Amino acid sequence: MASSFYGVEDQVQAIWVYLEHRDGSLENVSLEMLSEGRVLADQMGWPLVALLLGHSVENLCQDAFIYGADQVWLAEHKLLENFTIEGYTSAIYQIFLQSKPSVVFLGATHDGRDLAGRLAVRLRTGLNADCTGLRIDPDTGVLICEVSGFGGGVLALIEMQTHRPQMATVRPGVFSMRQTTSTPSKTIIRPTFTIEPEDIYTKYIERIEGDYVDLTGSTVLIAGGRGIDGDFQMLDALAQLLNGEIGATRPPVDDGYIERERQIGQTGVVCSPRLTICCGISGAFHFVVGIEKADTVIAINKDPKAPIFDHADYCIVGDVKQIVPKLIDALKTKV
């Protein structure tokens, strides 16, 4: 087997977390990885290092410390102002050859996946993708990743013996965010790296950003499937009464009834709300994986054999289009 650019002998034992940020704040998945990374770092007695790239982003270091980082490696450059795959890959590659981390986590976001995919090949190492569980063997320092495949129906444990860094992308919404109670050393390190304008060949032509809802943080989730025939207005009325958000299975998203950011499941968002009401959802497992962490699940479906009832605390066999309007009326009367 061909070896990675550095290996077990010359690795530096540490857990590194790549921080993604947007509009001047760190993304939730970055804070989730820091929180979980803190736990692992304490178990191993290793430092937790955050890696932050951008332009004028030093103010974000403070949040990294609050969520448990001992150190932040801060790579600032005008050419890193926008994420470009070539610019970011090159800078991180140079930093890793200096720092030789044993474990690296990146968020399984669009940019995180691209970056991880590139870096792993450039470093000739392996990559565990979209992990839902992370553990480090206390004796060997080997990272053991839990990943799911086949629409969430199969779980696999994957590890890497000889290649370094041990890279993993981590699924957003799986780990909870926790501010640290210890007082880390709070060191900022500014690594040297070079980057030239001609290294960057991705050009941003246009970027339109609007309001965005992040379902990973919602406490009440009203989800609709094929059985509601695109009537998300009805669900929205219910959601407003319950201070909730609306979500969807894949078919209504594909049919254009609702934004893709509200898609729940394997290829969408994994949520951990207090309550989920599944309306007209059959319960295919690539959806169910997205609500597995909900405290309480209520399911309404016409078909008594719908698999969603296997995943529900409260099961209602009936027509969602009759029950939800009556439920809305009942809730309004109570208020």
Partner 1 sequence: MPELNIFVCMKVVPKSEEIRVNTETMAIIREGVRSEINPPDMNALEMALSLKDRYGGQVSLLSMGPASFEFYLRVGLSVGADRAYLLSDPQFAGADTLATTYTLAQAIIKLGGGDIILCGDESADGATGQVPAGVAEWLDIGQLSMLTNLELDLTRRVGRGRRDIKGGYEILEVPIPFVVSVQTACNEPRFIDFERKSWAFTEAQVITWNAADLEADIEYIGLRGSPTVVTGLAEAADRDRQHEYIDGTPQEIALKLAGLLEDILESV
For residues 60-89, which are near partner 1 according to CB under 8 A? 85-86, 89
Residue 153 makes contact with partner 1 by CB under 8 A: yes
Name residues contacting partner 1, limited to 251-290 (CB under 8 A). Answer: 253-254, 260-261, 266-267, 274-275, 284-286, 289
Omega cis (within 30) before 307: no
CB 175 within 8 A of CB 35: yes
Q: Decide whether 24 or 153 has the Cβ nearer to partner 1.
A: 153
Site string for partner 1, 176-215 (x = CB under 8 A): -------------------------xxxxxxxxxxxx-x-
24 counts as binding partner 1 under rule CB under 8 A: no
Choose which of 30, 90, 128, 249 interacts with partner 1 (CB under 8 A).
128
Query: Which helix (DSSP H) or strand (DSSP E) does residue 28 occupy?
Result: helix 28-44
**Amino acid code (one letter) for 239:** A
Q: Which residue, 42 or 314, has its beta carbon nearer to partner 1? A: 314
Tokens representing 103?
Answer: 């474990």
- Quote the least distance from Cβ 182 to partner 1, whole Å: 30
| Sole residue written with tokens 């696999």 | 156
Helix (H, G, I), strand (E, B) or coil at 183: coil
Tell which positions 87-106 bind partner 1, by CB under 8 A.
89
Strand partners, 25: 22
Please give the backbone phi and psi of residue 276, each rounded to the nearest 5 degrees, phi first.
-125, 130
Nearest to 36 by CA among 146, 154, 152, 157: 146
Cβ atoms within 10 Å of 56's Cβ, excluding its own: 10
Q: Is 303 in the site for partner 1 (CB under 8 A)?
A: no
In the complex with partner 1, which residue's Cβ is closer, 75 or 220? Answer: 220
Region near partner 1 per CB under 8 A, out of 1-9, 43-51, 184-192, 226-234: 1-9
Q: Does 231 bind partner 1 (CB under 8 A)?
A: no
Q: Count of residues binding partner 1 (CB under 8 A)?
A: 96
The reply on whether position 58 binds partner 1 by CB under 8 A is no
- Please state, in angstroms and rounded to a whole number, the distance separating the CA atoms of residues 23 and 20: 11
- Cα separation, 20 vs 31, whole angstroms: 9
When asked if residue 305 is in the footprint of partner 1 (CB under 8 A), the reply is no
Name the DSSP class of 23: T
Contacts of 157 (CB under 8 A, 6+ apart): 144, 145, 146
By CB under 8 A, name the one of 55, 97, 156, 176 that touches partner 1: 156
Q: Binding of partner 1 at residue 30 (CB under 8 A)?
A: no
Any contact of residue 113 with partner 1 (CB under 8 A)?
A: yes
Buried b (16+ CB within 10 A) or exposed e, 257-281: bbeeebbbbbebbbbbbebbbbbbb
In this chain, which stretch among 50-58, 69-77, 96-104, 310-318 interacts with partner 1, using CB under 8 A?
Answer: 310-318
By CB under 8 A, residue 118 contacts partner 1: yes
Smallest gap from Cβ 163 to partner 1, in A, equals: 4
220 touching partner 1, by CB under 8 A: yes
Whether 5 and 101 have beta carbons less than 8 Å apart is answered as: no
Minimum Å distance from CB 188 to partner 1?
Answer: 28
Nearest approach, Cβ of residue 274 and partner 1 (Å): 5
**Reduced to 3 states, what is the DSSP secondary structure of residue 290?**
coil
Q: Does 155 bind partner 1 (CB under 8 A)?
A: yes
